[in-house]
Structure 1
Amino acid sequence: MFSIISHWYKTRFSDPQAVTLVLILLGGGLILYFAAGILAPLLVALVLAFLLEWPVEKMGRLGIKRTVATSIVLLLFLGLCVLIIFGLVPSIWRQGVALTSDLPSMLDQGLKTIQAYINQYPQWVNTDQLDVMILEIKKMLDTQHLLNVGKHLLGYSASLLVLMVYAILVPLLVFFFLKDKHSLIKKSTRFFPKNRELSQRVWREMHQQILNYIRGKVIEIMIVGVVSYIFFAVMDLRYAALLGVLTGLSVLIPYVGATLVTLPIALVAFFQWGITPEFGYLMLGYGIIQALDGNVLVPIVFSDAVDLHPVFIIAAVLIFGGLWGVWGVFFAIPLASLIKAVVNAWPVPEDVSI
């Protein structure tokens, strides 16, 4: 057994380039795993600087100085964020609060509908089990319980100090990352081994794939969200803006997101209309939107982006989501693409057949 492991190690790690790549990936992974909370503002600024580098670079090719281009792009980005926060978020927040306050009455209406079906078909449903289930649902959806949960969530995730740190430090870090990009990269490379050509090749492949992926996701979110909102508004579905935004954001988590967002849409439609033709039309239209997104929009938008099998995508969402929560889910596909790029670029000895 030892000889097999030794032979595998010598054949796979005989190239110094491969060892350097492993050390870089291992060091980056350890930093993210153990220090992600402490370095969160720095990591967020790095991600935003990476996303905003493309327009800054385009403006630089037009002859605009990098400092001026960075200032213009950052101001436009901050203006867009302010517009979204004060234009879209209040409406979504109001609908979310209204949905929370209307849950008890919606639940009563739904229970009456279910009870009517039970009276019609008593042979199919055990009434005792249904009463227990209804009691638990009422307890879970109790308004005071929801308010307590909301208070805990706000207490953990919306600390005023944390928000102030992000609001001040992150834009400053993004500005300096963009303005001094080349000097920062030049100074930081001295801390890396010299044999890093393989690592650079992996990064070049990942750089293009991540840009294509993020650009495609932004386009997909906007199209799916706007189309869903228009459809919900035409159908006169309650909380159309909130559900449209949720539908748009659900594409961030392939397969899993669409499954999760279908439940609140179906519940709201059921509580509003019951088992009626309107409910059927809404779910049919929503299914058509999801089908067009998966079979028409995604192949067009992501024609040059990452190509991963659905099994690997779902596994990446589960694994990285378990490691880093929401951030892990958000970056699951880029991280899976990184693994794929490393596997594709890994040197294969001539005497090893695959």
Structure 2
Amino acid sequence: MRKVIEKWYHRYFSNEESTYLVFTVVIACCILFFLGEILTPLFVAIILAYLMQGGVEMLKKWSVPHIAAVGVVFTFFIGLLAACLFGLLPLAWSQALKLIDDQLPVWLRKAQDGLSNLATSYPDYFSESQAQALSQNMQAKIGEWGELLLSLSIHSVPNVIGLMIFLVLVPVLVFFLLKDKDKLVGDIVQLLPHKRPIMNQVWSEMNRQMSNYVRGKVLEIFIVGAVTYACFTFVGLKYAALISLMVGLSVLIPFIGAALATIPVFVVAYFQMGWGSDLATVMVIYAILQAIDGNILVPLLFSEAVNLHPVAIVTAVLV
């Protein structure tokens, strides 16, 4: 057993570079585990700067000075952030409040009336006492949900303050990460071995795959959300901004996200339009959007990330 362990150790860790690589991965995991919550603004800023670095490099190829390229990309980032904070999010938030204040009580009352009428509508399956028990249980649950929402609103003040600090810190960190990227990377590289072909190869491959995947996923969120909003607004579905935001973010969780996003789409469409062709139209549109996303958009966006032709990815999805 000892010889097996020694043989395994010499095979994988006799090289100094391999030891550095494993040590770096372990340290990174420990930092994420123990300091992840505290350093969240830094991690978010690193991810955002990583996404925007491609734009900086592209401008530099066009003979734009580094600081000017950083300024252009950062200005675009601030504009996009402002559009989300003062355009999309307030619209989605106002629709969420309107949904809770105006529609949710109506939906709950309809659901409660439906439970109360179960004994009348389906006497063979529900007795009067069972229907009454279900209605009372729903009333109790509604009371619990109301208390939960009240407690969340009371405890949300510190979260709002933390969010404001977060929104100030992250852009500042992003700017300096973009501006001083070469210096910061150089300081980190000095801690590594001078000869590091394995680490360079691992980083080059990981950088290519991650950059393509993350940028593709961001584009997918934007495209799916925008097209969903346009389609649902066209058919007159209420709360289109809120629903499209949820549908766009649902692509972060493959398969499960799309299934979960179906619930609010169906509920809102059902209570607004009832059973009929309008509800069917909304659900067919949603199904078509999901089919296009899974079978056309994803292969086009991620073919470079997985180093496969879009035709191969489409074939794999179909199989």
TM-score by shorter chain over 0.5: yes
CA shift for structure 1 position 290: 1.1
Q: Give the aligned residue type for 1:147.
A: L
C-alpha distance 6-220 of structure 1, shift in aligned 2 (>3 A): same
Question: 227-236 or 75-84, which moves further after superposition?
Answer: 227-236
Superposed CA RMSD: 2.7
TM-score normalised according to structure 1 size = 0.77
Distance in 1, matches of 2:135 and 2:197, equals 62
Partner residue, 1:242 = 242
Q: Give the aligned residue type for 2:105.
A: P
SS in 1 for 2:190: helix
Partner residue, 2:166 = 166
CA shift for structure 1 position 169: 2.9
Q: Which structure 1 residue ranges, 5 or more long, are not aligned?
A: 309-354
Is the counterpart of residue 26 in structure 1 residue 23 in structure 2? Answer: no
CA shift for structure 1 position 178: 1.3
Using CA pairs below 8 Å that are at least 6 residues apart, which structure has the higher relative contact order? 1
Question: 65-74 or 232-241, which moves further after superposition?
Answer: 232-241
Q: Sequence identity, in percent?
A: 38
1:109-128 paired onto structure 2 within 5 Å:
109-113=110-114, 119-125=120-126
SS in 1 for 2:305: coil
Partner residue, 1:206 = 206
For the 8 Å contact 2:112–2:138, the answer to whether it is kept is no
For the 8 Å contact 2:247–2:258, the answer to whether it is kept is yes
Is the counterpart of residue 157 in structure 1 residue 156 in structure 2? Answer: no
SS in 1 for 2:64: coil
Task: Kindly provide the CA deviation profile for residues 149-191 of structure 1, in whole angstroms up to 9, marking residues without a partner as x.
Answer: 4415624532x2x234333332222222111211221122222
Distance in 1, matches of 2:204 and 2:57, equals 16
Partner residue, 2:290 = 290
Task: Kindly provide the CA deviation profile for residues 57-79 of structure 1, in whole angstroms up to 9, marking residues without a partner as x.
Answer: 11111111111211121112101
1:289-328 paired onto structure 2 within 5 Å:
289-306=289-306
C-alpha distance 4-86 of structure 1, shift in aligned 2 (>3 A): same
Distance in 1, matches of 2:248 and 2:225, equals 4
Aligned pair partner of 1:148 in 131, 135, 150: 150
Distance in 2, matches of 1:127 and 1:275, equals 27
TM-score normalised according to structure 2 size = 0.84
Partner residue, 1:217 = 217
C-alpha distance 298-246 of structure 1, shift in aligned 2 (>3 A): same
Q: Which structure 2 residue ranges, 5 or more long, are not aligned?
A: 309-319
For the 8 Å contact 2:119–2:126, the answer to whether it is kept is yes
Paired residues, what number?
A: 306
For the 8 Å contact 1:220–1:297, the answer to whether it is kept is yes
Distance in 1, matches of 2:231 and 2:115, equals 27
